Amino acid sequence: MMDCGDRPVDLTTRNNYFMPHAAVRNGACRILIIPLAADGTEAGPPLNFSHTIPETAWTAPPPRLAPSKSIALGHLLATPSQIDTLRSAEAPRAQLRDDLMAAAAAPNPLLPAGQPVVEPERYPDGVWNFDLWHRGNQLCFAIEDTILASTLAWLVTDDETHRVRALDLMLQVSAWDPSGSTGVWENDHSAQALLHALALGFDAHREHLTPSETKHITDAMAARAEDIYGLLNPFLAKNLSPGSMNNPDNNHPWFVASAMGIAGLALAGCDPMARRWADWALHLFWGNFLPRGSRTGAWHEGIDYWTYTLFFVFQFADALRNACGADLYTHPFLRATASFKALCHPPTGPYVPFGDCKHAPPGAFDKLIMMRLASACNNPVAARYTEAVAAPITTARYLFHAALWSAPPSARVATPFPGLPAIRPDTTSDNVCHYDDIGWIVAATPATATRPRELFAMRCGPARPHAHADQNSFILAVGEDKLLWDAGWYDSYLSPHHRDYSSRSVAHNTILVDSEGQLPAVSGVDGRMISFAHNITEGIVEATGDASSPLIYGGRLQKFLRHITYRAGQSLVVSDEIITARGPHQLSFLLHSGLPITWDAANSTLSVRGASTLLRAKFISEQPVEAILRTEFSTPPGLTSQVLDDAAEYTQQYHLELRTTQPVESWSPRLEITLQPRSGG
């Protein structure tokens, strides 16, 4: 029950997350929540509290699902008009179509030729195992790719060979235990892949299935969808086999909700729970998941998980559009987010490496996601980005989506739902942005400039999934010169190197206290930008990050302010204000580079020589310091299983620690950097 003054809300819901279907007034309101048992009796004490709805709150209700009888069954994977357009496509879209047909006809090397597909084994003694997890995922992805590519090839060509191949796989995996090794509690990636493939495959094949085949497939889908529904509702912290994966700030609940929602659409009219699954997914995406991206279009998990997360968002958005016309692509986050990717992970030149990322230029996967933003949102930034990324789209996994997502933008601009907030306009025209919701400041050379792309970025913000212990850290790069950069690599999530080095403060351009860094990115370890200003004409950015929260350094600091003044192409000044807590502590100022660092102890200066730029810096300190230069990692990268990465791909990095010689109670170090173009650079 919500008492908002002019529009009270009083309802009973089976979900623990609720969005009003009509706008409520901004300001103070009272909320009463009464938990009910299945028989309608009170199941616990009521929760009564006050809440303030801010002026910036959205006034748009979520789009409504069409009545079950109005859902366009048989069209979730592709509508008849989409199939016709694909058949008559001209280059370059025709090339994607033809490449997909070839990929669908070719045997998948991960699937046994002419043999049944064996269900992956469970973890021995119930203990999560990386190699089994990875192999299970690869198999399920191959099954998903084959079912979807073969089904689309059949719809385009009417070649029964493709239909039979897809159906055979669907029938095989429908016999697997939905609560077993590929269930959501054991492996949510595998669970998503199989349910997504079964739902779209069943919907496309439904008129060609026998009653027994229909029951076999739909029973498996329903069991898997209900299991995901149990994971997501109530939305409490829950552990899967590899750990806690149910935080909505993490991409994991997003991708399983996507599969659940698509299954709900596919089973409309033939399972009494179907509408609940689809409606729950729609509400989660509209009011819970996507708003975490905010109106700036920024994504807190970083540049690579931006791509990965949106891949699954678009799968549900497309099925929803095809089924009933409800359009998630009008959401403010999706309408704004292409600019975030373009600024922070451009087709060429340096990118923002904050958080977990693979330290690579955009590839086919990034190109695919921008392709969809270009076609679904008529986004010119995404269209230019797609054209600029040279990486070809070749795998069946990407070709299936590219064939559908490469349609040219419609002449019709999508009309936002009434009450949607406007996209926050860019504050400058020269690629300077403060993403206040994630605590990033990014300043880059305009895309139209002829000189090498220069990039400065700083982070001080909330601790959320895939973030690092890097409050008040910064990077500076010009062209291919990673002058001051994040150290370490993302060899795999929670590998020894990732857990003990690359995600820790020791790998970032921030400070240490008694050789200890910030607490890992857990709830409450939050910094904030307390000031930001820029001058477009002079190319100046000024900002102050506040990492003084006691939890950040485990109570050892009472103040850590970092002031920066950046002049594009000329200089960067970093000034710190540090006051310790609970007595004096030894403090360290860290700098990392992808290039050798030269330190001159007599003059307290350092230099980094790149291919196009020479960085010189003066370090000013009222406290005596000692310099420690390193090239090794305390924990080397490279998984011992060598499943994902080869340690040989990790290039040399360089580290400078400027440490006070004695414990101190305060420190105000200042780093004055100048940039000089190198001859011929």
Q: Do 129 and 41 belong together in one domain?
A: no
Which range, of 33-37, 250-254, 313-317, 657-661, averages the lowest pLDDT? 33-37
Give helix 396-405 / helix 364-377 axis angle, nearest 10°.
20
- 206 and 309 in a single domain? The answer is yes
Mean pLDDT for all residues in the chain: 91
The predicted pLDDT at position 13 comes to 83
User: How confident is the model at residue 646, as a pLDDT?
Assistant: 62
Q: What is the pLDDT of residue 415?
A: 46
The mean pLDDT value for 353-359 works out to: 94
**Number of neighbouring beta carbons within 10 Å of residue 360:** 12
In a domain, 586, yes or no: yes
Domain assignment present for residue 425? The answer is: no
Q: What CATH number has the domain bearing residue 175?
A: 1.50.10.100
In a domain, 62, yes or no: no
Q: Does residue 417 lie within any of the structural domains? A: no
Residue 82 in this model has a pLDDT that exceeds 70: yes
Residue 220 shares a structural domain with residue 296: yes
Residues 53 and 77 in one domain: no
In a domain, 447, yes or no: yes
Name the 3-class secondary structure at 172: helix
Joined together, the tokens standing for residue 71 give 């859902």
157 and 32 part of one domain: no
501 and 538 assigned to the same domain: yes
According to the model, what pLDDT value does residue 139 have? 97
Q: Would you state the pLDDT for residue 596?
A: 98
Point out the domain boundary residue: 10, 34, 57.
57
pLDDT tens profile 196-246: 999 999 999 999 999 999 999 999 999 999 999 999 987 777 888 888 788
Average pLDDT over residues 87-95: 92
Boundary (domain end) residue, out of 387, 405, 423: 405
Can you give the pTM of this predicted structure? Answer: 0.93
Q: Band of the pLDDT at 681, cuts 50, 70, 90?
A: very low
Q: How far apart, in whole angstroms, are the C-alpha atoms of residue 523 and residue 508?
A: 20
Q: Into how many domains does the chain fold? A: 3
Contact 562, 473 (CB under 8 A): no
- Range 326-345 average pLDDT: 92
Contact 501, 590 (CB under 8 A): no
* CA 345 vs CA 114, 359, 420, 590: distances in Å: 43, 10, 28, 25
Q: What is the mean pLDDT of residues 277-297?
A: 89
Q: DSSP states of 106-147 as a string? A: SPPTTS-TTSPPPPPPPPGGG---HHHHHHHHHHHHHHHHHH
Asked if pLDDT for residue 412 goes beyond 60, the answer is: no
Q: What is the pLDDT of residue 639?
A: 62
Residue 422 lies in a domain: no
Residue 409: predicted pLDDT: 52
What pLDDT shows up at residue 495? 86
Looking at the structure, tell me whether residues 304 and 383 fall in a common domain. yes
Max mean pLDDT among 117-131, 173-187, 635-649 falls in 173-187
The answer as to whether 413 is a domain residue is no
Answer yes or no: do 161 and 50 share one domain.
no
Angle between helices 211-232 and 160-174 (to 10 degrees): 60
d(CA 256, CA 154): 27
User: Are residue 566 and residue 500 in the same domain, yes or no?
Assistant: yes
3-state secondary structure of 579: strand
324: in domain = yes
Domain holding 6, by residue range, is: 1-57
CATH number where 452 lies: 2.70.98.70
pLDDT of residue 527: 97
Q: Assess whether 618 and 529 both reside in one domain.
A: yes
Q: Is 591 found in the same domain as 479? A: yes
Average pLDDT over residues 290-314: 93
Task: Indicate whether 321 and 376 sit together in one domain.
Answer: yes
- Our CA angle for 473, 477, 478, nearest 5°, is 165
